Amino acid sequence: MVDLKTIRKIAKLSMIEMSENEEADFSSQLSKAIEYFNQVSEVDTKNVDPMTTPTEIVPHYREDVPAQVVSPEEILAIAPERTGNLYTVPPVV
């Protein structure tokens, strides 16, 4: 079982608020998921390189040409709160 202390840490890292009931629920659900990964990690992968992508293809690069696709006005239109052309967010310090 994933203990409550770990659950609270994960919740904090994910910026999620949880009720006590939810903490218990997630504790059992996460335990199952972790159990499954423990099972996966039993496979011997000593001589296998970690796979970051299934195919070795040369990435598509973008050339270094600047362009303005959206105006500040358009993009700030969806900001929950703004001051002039700046985003307003809750205090962080």
Partner 1 sequence: MYRGYEAVIGLEIHAQLSTKSKIFSEDATAFDAGDNENLSLVSAGLPGALPVLNRKVVEFSIQAGLALGCEIRRKNTFARKNYFYPDLPKGYQISQYDEPICENGRVIIFVGGQEKTIRIIRAHMEEDAGKSTHFGEYTLVNYNRAGVPLLEIVSAPDLRTPEEAAEYAKTIRQILKYIGVCDGNLEEGSLRCDCNVSVRPVGTAELGTKVEIKNVNSFRFVEKAIEYEIERQVDALERKEKIIQETRLYDSDKNRTVPMRTKEDAQDYRYFPDPDLLPVIITDEMIKEIHLHLPELPSARKKRFIEHYGLPEYDAIMLTAEKEYADYFEATTKISSNPKSTANWMMTELTRELNQANIEVDKSPVSPAGLAGLLKLIDQGIISGKIAKTVFNDMWSTGKSAEEIIKDKNLTQISDRAAIEKIVDEILSQNSKSVLEYKSGRTKLLGFFVGAVMKATKGQASPDLVNQILLDKLKR
Contact residues for partner 1 (CB under 8 A)? 9, 13, 15, 52-53, 56-70, 72, 75-76, 83-93
User: How far apart are the C-alpha atoms of 42 and 85, rounded to whole Å?
Assistant: 53
Query: Nearest distance from residue 33's CB to partner 1, in Å?
Result: 15
Residue closer to partner 1 by CB (options 40, 92) is 92
Nearer to partner 1, 36 or 87 (CB): 87
Q: Which letter, b or e, does each residue of 13-42 get, where b requires 16 or more Cβ atoms within 10 Å of its Cβ? A: eeeeebeeeeeeebeeeeeeeeeeeeeeee
Quick one: 44 or 63, whose CB is closer to partner 1?
A: 63
